[in-house]
Amino acid sequence: DGTSLGSVRRRRERRLHPHEEEKVMEMMVTRIQLSESNLQGSMPNEISGFMHLQELEVSKNDLTGRLPSGLYNLTNLQKLYLDDNTLRGSISEDFGNMNALEDVFLFGNELGGPLPKSMGNLKKLRRFWASDMFLSGSLPTEIGGLESLKGLYLQNNQLVSNLPSTMGNLVELRDLRMFGNVITGDIPASFRYLVNLEVVYMDSCELRGGLTNDVIRKWRKLSDFQAFGNNIQGEIPTALGELENLKVINLAENNLVGTIPSSIGQSGNLLSLVLRNNRLTGSIPPGLASSTDILHINLSENDPDKDATSGIDGQIPDFFGSFTKLKWLKLHGNRLQGEIPASLSDATSLGELRLCHEQKCR
């Protein structure tokens, strides 16, 4: 009849009802950024209507209540930033439905309960930051399914768990922070596959067993290793001295024995060495001489029983005088002998120097 497609389209056009307009707008929204906006109250379940949402950022507000069930229907969401609110409740097993997630920041809320097993479905997840809350229970073995994970931040929760051997599958992991939980048992042998690790914070976790060369040697990119306040036993692995990128070692307050590997510090990159309150013996490692930019050395209290069965001995090395950036040097509570080297006067940045107890030096 000569009717054009355009005229048919015009005949079918009509004004949208306000409710329909709202639905269309929801479908179009891909990003909500409302951090530090003084938001209050609970998150609405209607958030599920934003089906194409890719980024939800509502950090640093005063949001309360539980995570709405509708949140877990946002299967296109890539970035979820809910940190620094007062959200309560637990993380649902439906969390695993959000399989486009890349970044999840939940820290600084009051969320509790166990980590959902379904989180192992999140194959694209890169950073999971859920620290400083009330998470409890054990680490699910399914956590090994997070094949893209680069950062796992679970510090300062109430987790009671071992380290699942499946975590050895997290081959992209660079930053692991678990301190302030109860993480019992040994570091699994499977951790040798975590070849991209750069930062490990496992302090005050009740870790037991020893540190093995087979695992440590594979952490070639490691720069910061802190596992103080545990029950780690045995000797310090010599492999620590082979890690050229290592800048910080803190293994204080464990049950380490034997000598400090002579190669510690020989890379020249070490900035902090803290091994206090163990039962170490032998002399101060000569490899330290290469780390001329070192800031902190604390080898104190390695003779805790004062019975000469342990404690670092020998002389205070003359090369300490070349550490012009050294801020504190603590060697008290050992069995060091000989004279204090005159070269220490060249360490002009020293703010704290402790070589003995109550001015009684041997």
> What pLDDT, in 10s, does the model give residues 70-100?
999 999 999 999 999 999 999 999 999 999 9
Q: How far apart are CA 144 and CA 165, in angstroms?
A: 8
Q: What is the largest CA-CA distance in the chain?
A: 112
C-alpha distance from residue 174 to each of 151, 177, 360 (Å): 6, 10, 45
Q: How far apart are CA 6 and CA 8, in angstroms?
A: 5
E-assigned strand segments in 138-245: 151-153, 158-161, 175-177, 182-183, 199-201, 224-226, 233-235
Question: pLDDT band at residue 362, thresholds of 50, 70 and 90?
Answer: very low
> Taking a C-beta distance cutoff of 8 angstroms, is the pair 275, 302 a contact?
yes
Tell whether the model's pLDDT for residue 361 goes beyond 60. no
Buried b (16+ CB within 10 A) or exposed e, 282-320: bebbebbbbbeebbbbbbbbbbeeeeeebbbbeebbebb
* Beta-strand pair 134-137/112-113: parallel
Mean pLDDT of 268-289: 97
Structure tokens at 24: 């269309």
Tell whether the model's pLDDT for residue 304 goes beyond 90. no
Mean pLDDT of 235-253: 97
- pLDDT value at residue 27: 62
- Provide the percentage of residues in the chain whose pLDDT is more than 70: 91
Q: How far apart are CA 254 and CA 289, in angstroms?
A: 25
> Taking a C-beta distance cutoff of 8 angstroms, is the pair 180, 155 a contact?
yes
- pLDDT value at residue 28: 84
Q: Any idea what the Cα angle at residue 147 is, between residues 142 and 152, rounded to 5°? A: 75
Compare 6 and 156 and report the one with higher pLDDT: 156
List pLDDT tens digits, range 195-218: 999 999 999 999 988 999 999 999
Q: How far apart are CA 300 and CA 311, in angstroms?
A: 9
- pLDDT value at residue 1: 43
List pLDDT tens digits, range 174-192: 999 999 999 988 999 999 9
- pLDDT value at residue 296: 98
**Of 116, 73, 115, 79, nearest in space to 98 by CA:** 73
- pLDDT value at residue 13: 41
- pLDDT value at residue 309: 85
Mean pLDDT of 105-120: 98
β-bridge mates for residue 274, sequence order: 250, 298
**Of 182, 113, 103, nearest in space to 146 by CA:** 103
Tell whether the model's pLDDT for residue 130 goes beyond 90. yes
Q: What is the mean pLDDT of the chain?
A: 91
Question: pLDDT band at residue 17, thresholds of 50, 70 and 90?
Answer: low
Region of residue 108 (left: phi > 0; alpha: psi -120 to 50; beta: else): left
- pLDDT value at residue 306: 81
Task: Map residue 219 onto helix, strand or coil.
Answer: coil
